A and B are shown apart, each in its own frame.
Chain A
Amino acid sequence: MAAVRTAGIEYFALNFSRRMSHDVHSIHFHGQAPNERVELLIRRHWTTIARDTFLFAIGLVVPIPVYFYLSRALEIDFSGESAVSIILILLAGLYYLYVWLFYFHQWIDSYLDVWIVTNKRLVDIEQNGLFSRRISELNLSKIQDVTSEVKGKLQTFLDYGNLLVQTAGEQTQFEFEGVGKPDMVAKALMQLHDEAIRQEAHPLPPSQTQTAP
């Protein structure tokens, strides 16, 4: 179990929040049971937000050539005294606000997709836009198979891919795309599954049950 916890903490330290790493056991989520302990917190790889980051950077830069064109070719004065310059400055203020909002929204959409693996279950939280959210839960003992996929040059070099979990539950397959170090996560999941099976076969007495702080 210590190896699993180490793997979990090491994984958390290596994911998107690598510089913000801290003990995963201190993480609490809505719906967590009193005797439930977070072992893994899996987020999407940073490449999933890379495209939006690139678009955001372009959005920041686009007004600059527009400014030079308007001020030099069309000789528009941007001192804020002429009516045209006042209108353009207002437009620029709104433009940068919305570009910033767009990036924040995309980050939330990506960052709120998370797999929380506790000592008892796997919680799959998928955010689709702002007003659509799907939460699926799976008892760890019902995991039958875990497959990690790494396809293509980019995924190979950056070591990220997809995780597929086959289950014996109502939902037969859980899939998480864009996971960093998927082979390590798959191994950690199977270890947690084995531990959950052992605990179901030999439950601990209530006095030895570890409770969440």
Chain B
Amino acid sequence: MSIPLYVFLGLYGVGLAIYLVLSFFNLYHAFRFGIKDTMTGLVITTYLVVTVVILVATSAFILSVDWAQTWQPFELPELNISL
């Protein structure tokens, strides 16, 4: 049984989409309800910078991979049946 790697890329995309939605909600609350002070700005900026760094690093890796290759999680044993 072999699974093409782009399936895992799709699953990663789903996880990333959920992350972006949750990040949006958190950032919205920080902007909407946070007191406009230096600490709030610093934390939001740090969050965005670290997120971008992780995404850029992961994207660079994703672009270097051949997603058409497959993964065989396990190999079925060959059956030798002689009649």
| A and B are partners in one complex rather than unrelated chains | yes
Chain A positions within 8 Å of B, measured between CB atoms, are 16-17, 20, 22, 27-30, 41, 80, 83-84, 86-87, 89-90, 93-94, 96-98, 100-101, 104-105, 107-108, 111-112, 114, 116, 125, 127, 130, 133
Q: Is the CB of A111 within 8 A of B40?
A: yes
In the assembled complex, the Cα of A172 lies from the Cα of B47 at a distance in Å of 39
Known: A93-B58, A114-B35, A133-B33. Contact between A101 and B71, CB under 8 A? no
Extra pairs beyond A20-B39, A97-B51, A104-B26 (16, CB < 8 Å): A20-B37, A28-B36, A30-B33, A80-B64, A83-B69, A90-B58, A93-B54, A96-B54, A98-B19, A100-B54, A101-B23, A107-B43, A111-B34, A111-B43, A112-B33, A125-B33
B residues sitting closer than 8 Å to A (CB atoms) are 5, 8-9, 12, 15-16, 19, 22-23, 25-26, 29-30, 33-40, 42-43, 47, 50-51, 54-55, 57-58, 61-62, 64-65, 69-72
Residues of B contacting A: mostly? helix
Residues of B within 8 A of A107 (CB): 43
C-alpha spacing A98/B16, complex, angstroms: 9
- Assess the B39–A130 pair: CB atoms within 8 A: no
Interface of A is mostly: helix
7 A-B pairs whose Cβ atoms sit less than 8 Å apart in the complex: A83-B70, A83-B71, A84-B71, A86-B65, A90-B12, A94-B16, A97-B16
- Most chain A CB within a 10 A radius of its CB, from B25, B37, B55, B72: B37
